[in-house]
């Protein structure tokens, strides 16, 4: 096991990882930008290093500065969290070259899955059902039109390097396609440094169902059941739950088998999530995230497996402590992503938190980095906190989540807490199994 780990992230996830490390007896190094000197992840780590100015490309994305910070502090491994460098294969490779461990999969697997076109091809070869679409990237406008006509409009144009709900656009006909393709290509180039675009059938009102896997270097490939992340706005998840309501056990078991089998064929290591669209009958693979996911705590609460602890253990060469038979989900778990945003126009809200009071009690977990007096900077993601509740039944978890949202106090900045209460109190949400377009179609009348 490692003696010292550097956490290459900020915010709630850096705090979460710090906890797992300290519980394993590992001492921790936080990195931070100038704006984050007073941030919680810096305060609770055993050591910290300021690695640069506020813009992310000068700090949290600065691979050379992070490696220097490892050398100065003697950290043996780096946990990348999510976002930032977590799915950057060349960063993982640089660490390998410096004899540092990247707490994540092997760099070749990050690379394979990071290109969404490549990922779909590979998964298809492994027998995973994928969303119908273009074979590879579209070469030019004519190629895009031909592909779309074969697939049938409406189609979704997707950047092969996209992520975080960005880099995709629906087009309904040839005219729209001609207009949108060059714009998306330009966007993809400036956001992701790669203008490769592919086309998928736009699936009408599906659900987003994903499977959590964990693999070690001793031949163990396990799944930790599924999550339903269909409550989304602008392709970004707002509420997640586990297990997914109203899908038969038989269908789920078949999906888990396909996922585990693909991981075994790949020889995958560490945590991963396979994301699918579900049309009520079939699952279609969209992409694989080769990292710890924002919504991992609902799986932790449901299965009682500490995913971050296990992720660190398997990266250091240990076996997974448990077996598939012993991973038994119990009850129902829901996560609400609490963002700093204006409730009307959804623009990020920044400023000083005058007063913060967390909810508590049975079945409540709050993963956050905020505190009374903390100033939320404008440079970074606007996720403030994740409320995770577990109940005996789905209905119980929903009531518990509303009760907790009534208890929480975050004064001084705007948040989406009221939106969460409205969603959780909504009849359609309560009946279970809403589609990915449900929130956006109903947001004005909730």
Segment lying near ligand ADP (by CB under 6 A), choices 41-49, 233-241, 258-266, 312-320: 233-241
Task: Give the one entry of ligand ADP, Mg ion, none that residue 53 binds, where binding means its C-beta sits below a cut-off of 5 to 8 angstroms depending on kind.
Answer: none
Q: How far apart are CA 284 and CA 437, in angstroms?
A: 17
For the CB of residue 202, give the shortest distance to ligand ADP in the complex, in Å.
Answer: 5
For the CB of residue 81, give the shortest distance to ligand ADP in the complex, in Å.
Answer: 9
Helix 11-23 vs helix 307-315: crossing angle, to nearest 10: 70
Q: Interface mask (CB under 6 A) for ligand ADP, residues 421-440, using x and -? A: ---------------x----
Reduce the DSSP state of residue 36 to 3 states and report it.
helix
Which residues between 55 and 84 bind ligand ADP (CB under 6 A)?
82-83
Judged by beta carbon, residue 2 or residue 84, the one nearer ligand ADP is: 84
Q: How far apart are CA 387 and CA 113, in angstroms?
A: 29
Structural tokens at position 131: 């969303």
Which of 343, 358, 364 has its CA nearest to residue 413? 343
User: Phi/psi at 261 (nearest 5 deg)?
Assistant: -60, -45
Instruction: Count H helices and E strands in the chain, helices first.
Output: 15, 20
Judged by beta carbon, residue 260 or residue 436, the one nearer ligand ADP is: 436
Is residue 332 part of the contact set for ligand ADP (CB under 6 A)?
no
Judged by beta carbon, residue 26 or residue 242, the one nearer ligand ADP is: 242
Which residues between 235 and 274 bind ligand ADP (CB under 6 A)?
235-237
Is residue 387 part of the contact set for ligand ADP (CB under 6 A)?
no
Residue nearest to ligand ADP (CB): 163
The active-site residue out of 227, 291, 365, 400 is: 291
For the CB of residue 294, give the shortest distance to ligand ADP in the complex, in Å.
Answer: 4
Judged by beta carbon, residue 170 or residue 330, the one nearer ligand ADP is: 170
Is residue 162 part of the contact set for ligand ADP (CB under 6 A)?
yes
Size of the site for Mg ion (CB under 5 A): 1
Q: Cα dist. 153→171, 178, 199 in Å?
A: 7, 13, 11
Reduce the DSSP state of residue 223 to 3 states and report it.
strand
b/e burial code for range 234-268 (CB count within 10 A of at least 16 → b): eeebbbbbbbbeebeeeebeebbebbbebbeebeb
Is residue 208 part of the contact set for ligand ADP (CB under 6 A)?
yes
Judged by beta carbon, residue 291 or residue 394, the one nearer ligand ADP is: 291
Which of 200, 209, 198 has its CA nearest to residue 279? 209
For the CB of residue 142, give the shortest distance to ligand ADP in the complex, in Å.
Answer: 22
Listed as own residue / partner, the contacts of 392-398 with beta carbons closer than 8 Å and 24 or more positions apart are 392/331, 392/332, 393/331, 393/332, 394/241, 394/245, 394/332, 394/432, 395/430, 396/331, 396/332, 397/241, 397/331, 397/332, 397/333, 397/334, 397/363, 398/334, 398/424, 398/430
Judged by beta carbon, residue 240 or residue 275, the one nearer Mg ion is: 275
Q: Say if CB 157 and CB 133 are below 8 A apart.
A: no
Q: How far apart are CA 185 and CA 191, in angstroms?
A: 10
For the CB of residue 275, give the shortest distance to Mg ion in the complex, in Å.
Answer: 5
Is residue 232 part of the contact set for ligand ADP (CB under 6 A)?
yes
Task: Give the one entry of ligand ADP, Mg ion, none that residue 107 binds, where binding means its C-beta sits below a cut-off of 5 to 8 angstroms depending on kind.
Answer: none
For the CB of residue 86, give the shortest distance to ligand ADP in the complex, in Å.
Answer: 7
Is residue 131 part of the contact set for ligand ADP (CB under 6 A)?
yes
Reduce the DSSP state of residue 104 to 3 states and report it.
coil
Segment lying near Mg ion (by CB under 5 A), choices 106-114, 268-276, 364-372, 429-437: 268-276
Is residue 202 part of the contact set for ligand ADP (CB under 6 A)?
yes
Q: Interface mask (CB under 6 A) for ligand ADP, residues 335-374, using x and -? A: ----------------------------------------
* Per-residue DSSP letter, 56: G
Q: Which residue has the tokens 């930008």?
A: 33
SS3 letters for 308-368? HHHHHHHHCCCCCCCCHHHCCCCCEEEEEEEEEECCCCCCECCEECCEEECCCCCCEEEEE
Structural tokens at position 257: 């088998």
Segment lying near Mg ion (by CB under 5 A), choices 82-90, 175-183, 269-277, 309-317: 269-277
Is 291 an annotated catalytic residue? yes
Sites of contact with Mg ion (CB under 5 A): 275
Active site residues: 291
Sites of contact with ligand ADP (CB under 6 A): 82-83, 131, 156, 162-165, 192, 200-203, 208, 232, 235-237, 275, 277, 286-287, 289, 293-295, 381, 436
């Amino acid at each position: 096991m490692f003696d010292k780990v550097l956490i290459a992230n900020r915010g709630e996830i850096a705090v979460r990882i710090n906890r797992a490390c300290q519980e394993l007896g590992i001492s921790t190094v936080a990195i931070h930008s100038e704006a984050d000197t007073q941030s919680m992840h810096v305060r609770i780590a055993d050591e910290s290093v300021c690695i640069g100015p506020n813009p992310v490309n000068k700090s949290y994305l600065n691979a050379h500065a992070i490696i220097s910070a490892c050398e100065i502090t003697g950290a043996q491994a780096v946990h990348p969290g999510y976002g930032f460098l977590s799915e950057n294969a060349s960063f993982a490779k640089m660490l390998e070259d410096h004899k540092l461990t990247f707490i994540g999969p092997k760099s070749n697997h990050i690379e394979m899955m990071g290109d969404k076109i490549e990922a779909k091809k590979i998964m298809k070869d492994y027998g995973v059902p994928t969303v119908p679409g273009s074979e590879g990237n579209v070469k030019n406008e004519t190629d895009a039109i031909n592909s779309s006509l074969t697939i049938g409009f409406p189609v979704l144009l997707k950047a092969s390097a996209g992520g975080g709900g960005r880099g995709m656009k629906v087009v309904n006909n040839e005219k729209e396609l001609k207009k949108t393709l060059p714009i998306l290509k330009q966007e993809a180039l400036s956001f992701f440094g790669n203008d490769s675009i592919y086309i998928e059938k736009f699936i009408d009102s599906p659900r987003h169902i994903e499977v959590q896997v964990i693999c070690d270097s001793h031949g163990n490939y396990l799944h930790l059941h599924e999550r339903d992340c269909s409550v989304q706005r602008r392709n970004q998840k707002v509420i997640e739950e586990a297990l997914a309501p109203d899908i038969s056990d038989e269908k789920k078991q078949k999906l888990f088998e396909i996922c585990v089998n693909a991981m075994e064929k790949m020889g995958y290591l560490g945590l991963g999530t396979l994301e699918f669209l579900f049309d009520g009958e079939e699952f279609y693979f969209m992409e694989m995230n080769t990292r710890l996911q924002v919504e991992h705590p609902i799986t932790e609460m449901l299965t009682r497996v500490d995913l971050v602890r296990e992720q660190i253990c398997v990266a250091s060469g240990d076996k997974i402590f448990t077996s598939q038979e012993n991973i038994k989900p119990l009850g129902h778990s829901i996560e609400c992503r609490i963002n700093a945003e204006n409730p009307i126009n959804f623009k990020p809200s920044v400023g000083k938190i005058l007063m913060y009071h967390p909810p508590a009690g049975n079945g409540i977990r709050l993963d956050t980095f905020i505190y009374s007096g903390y100033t939320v900077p404008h440079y970074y993601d606007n996720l403030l906190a994740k409320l995770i509740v577990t109940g005996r039944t789905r209905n119980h978890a929903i009531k518990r989540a509303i009760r907790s949202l009534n208890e929480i106090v975050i004064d001084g900045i705007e948040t989406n807490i009221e939106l969460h209460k409205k969603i959780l109190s909504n009849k359609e949400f309560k009946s279970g199994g809403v589609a990915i377009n449900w929130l956006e179609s109903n947001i004005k009348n909730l």
